[in-house]
Amino acid sequence: MISLKSSREIHDMEASGAVLAGMHIGMREIIKPGISSWVIEEFAREYFQDRGAVAAQIGFEGYEFATCVSVNDEICHGFPRKELILQEGDLVKVDTVVEYDGAFSDSCWSYAVGQVSPQIQDLMKVTKESLYLGIDAAQVGKRLGDIGAVIQHFTEDEHGYGDVRDFVGHGIGPTMHEDPMVAHYGIAGKGKRLQNGMTITIEPMINTGTWEADTSDPSGWVARTADGGWSCQYEHTIAITNDGPKILTSQDPQADAEYLLADYEELFTPHAEAAKRIAQHYQNK
């Protein structure tokens, strides 16, 4: 069942999203060649505790960590690992869900470790642009297929990348995952109609090669590209409103100004400042 949120509930999710976005600001400070991917997990846990937020992924269907840290050919659900040392040129995806005062938010961001190749720079650029094309399509009266179609056309038809089918976006709030499922491929004009008050994630996962995923990892969690190509992901939680789509997890209130509720920057700024402060403790690990 799809739940429609009141303006108060959306405001609560916006506050949660501002906390989560702050975490990603801290990631910019600590992700670099030579660190263990476990540092990402340590930082996230300390930051969430400092902000009074709950790392909602811990315990979800048996998952043990606050973050998913997926590197290079790992599409999603990679574990933070002490033995995994990030190398110059790696591509790291950090995904997490936060519960803050009872409201959920979900966001993944991709990070270049040092200097990545021109091909990976282009993959990152195209994937991020596809996220915003999907957000632009998330208008009241449009259909879920309009979101998927514009992402698929841009990433596959125009740029020749693989648009992952196995993992999709979803409704969020009052629980972590709920209806509707939000595919990043599809046919325009098809699917459920978007309504004022819906809150969803849009999270395209785009590969350098095939769209197909290998989900045979013994852990039952980690998904990789079927051909060994690299994968990129960007994700925002958004609210569908009569005033257009509103991003609830923005890391850049200036660039995202047209997509934000009026008080977002005020909510976000103290969390971003706290994340930078806490990140200083991790920069030499």
**177 marked as part of a ligand binding site:** yes
Sign of the alpha-carbon torsion through 194, 200, 202, 203: negative
- Beta-carbon count within 10 A of 52 CB: 9
Whether 86 and 112 have beta carbons less than 8 Å apart is answered as no
**281 marked as part of a ligand binding site:** no
Angle among Cα 160, 119, 222 to the nearest 5 degrees reads 80
- Beta-carbon count within 10 A of 154 CB: 20
**77 marked as part of a ligand binding site:** yes
**170 marked as part of a ligand binding site:** yes
Helix/strand/coil (H/E/C) assignment for every residue in 202-271: ECCEEECCCCCEECCCCCCCCEEECCCCCEEECCEEEECCCCCCEECCCCCCCCCHHHCCCCHHHHHHHH
Whether 212 and 223 have beta carbons less than 8 Å apart is answered as no
d(CA 222, CA 121): 24
Residue positions in the annotated binding site for a divalent metal cation? 95, 106, 170, 203, 235
Residue positions in the annotated binding site for substrate? 77, 177
Residue positions in the annotated binding site? 77, 95, 106, 170, 177, 203, 235
